[in-house]
A = this chain, B = another copy of it.
């Protein structure tokens, strides 16, 4: 089988396409023919060596494909099932703990840039019925993060207003999930063409934050002065202050990303005097993923796919990803 291994200390020129024997499933394992992967910022950090990995790690946390064989004691999956990987294979349900967050594919153990992988069955769930493998591979990291921000932590309900920032994949999924939940969505971008695509994806109102630098004021106008019920905050330092200003009394901020840096200057009174609730979010559990997939099936949500690359062009895929012009997931076909 073909697979990609990353030579330490990382770098796009150290992604080696190699040939190895396929693994065999032991008790509790499934053998999966991976057909697609998708790229995330943390994969980008990993392959470029910003996150130190063991030598010859197989990269990528998000993969989808077909079950080929199962080991003993596997009830939940069977050969022929179309499956998608789980980000935290040991976080089955309930709250994350230090024990269940430990292992991440593509980081602490080999990931999905490989034609075949063999893992414990709980490292996969069924893919949404009717999804292509590329669509399924889009879900693991950014899809589930958006799901948790909108549904699990946000508990968005019909009639709520949700603000999504920019056109990263978390924001696109959040827009789709919020619409599925009956919410009104306000979306931002600095690019008129992307704003147009956000509207077509369901955004009820859009704001060009380059044209309207104090976009939080515009958000309040669009909500009759009330502010939004939820912000899916992926911007970090560059946006958090305005996200707080855009929030209604008692509003909720799903705090996710680090697109603009790591340390933010936060106004404490802006949080407590408006009774703001903030949820720090890092992906979700296997049970969360199963819930998300049910929602995707019922609401026929299709992830936005920007572009597909063959596995051997993984370096080109990351170059495209890092250019930041994409709208939707950058994927590999395996």
Bound together, the chains give a CA A250 to CA B99 distance in angstroms of: 13
Q: Is the CB of B269 within 8 A of A258?
A: yes
Q: Is the CB of B271 within 8 A of A275?
A: no
The interface residues of chain B lying within 8 Å CB-to-CB of A193 are: none
Known: A95-B250, A292-B159. Contact between A272 and B256, CB under 8 A?
yes
Determine if A287 is an interface residue (Cβ-Cβ < 8 Å): yes
A184's nearest neighbour on chain B, judged by CB, is B298
Q: Is the CB of B271 within 8 A of A278?
A: yes
The interface residues of chain B lying within 8 Å CB-to-CB of A264 are: 265-266, 268
Interface size for A (C-beta < 8 A) is: 67
- Of A6-14, A175-183, A211-219, A320-328, which stretch is located at the interface? A175-183
Task: Name the interface residues of A172-195: CB closer than 8 Å to any CB of B.
Answer: 177, 180-184
Bound together, the chains give a CA A157 to CA B295 distance in angstroms of: 8
Q: Is the CB of A281 within 8 A of B272?
A: yes
Q: Is the CB of B92 within 8 A of A76?
A: no
Determine if A80 is an interface residue (Cβ-Cβ < 8 Å): no
Determine if A23 is an interface residue (Cβ-Cβ < 8 Å): no
Bound together, the chains give a CA A279 to CA B251 distance in angstroms of: 10
The interface residues of chain B lying within 8 Å CB-to-CB of A255 are: 268, 271-272
Contact of A96 among B180, B250, B256 (CB under 8 A): B250
Q: Is the CB of A296 within 8 A of B181?
A: no
Known: A250-B95, A263-B267. Contact between A182 and B180, CB under 8 A?
yes
A235's nearest neighbour on chain B, judged by CB, is B268
A28 CB to closest chain B CB, in angstroms? 9
Bound together, the chains give a CA A197 to CA B272 distance in angstroms of: 28
Q: Is the CB of A277 within 8 A of B279?
A: yes
Bound together, the chains give a CA A296 to CA B292 distance in angstroms of: 24
A127 CB to closest chain B CB, in angstroms? 14
The interface residues of chain B lying within 8 Å CB-to-CB of A294 are: 158-160
Which are the 3 A-B pairs with shortest beta-carbon distances? A93-B94, A159-B295, A159-B294
16 A–B pairs (Cβ distance < 8 Å), ordered by A: A94-B285, A94-B287, A95-B275, A96-B275, A155-B157, A158-B294, A158-B295, A159-B298, A182-B298, A256-B272, A262-B269, A272-B282, A275-B279, A275-B281, A278-B278, A278-B280
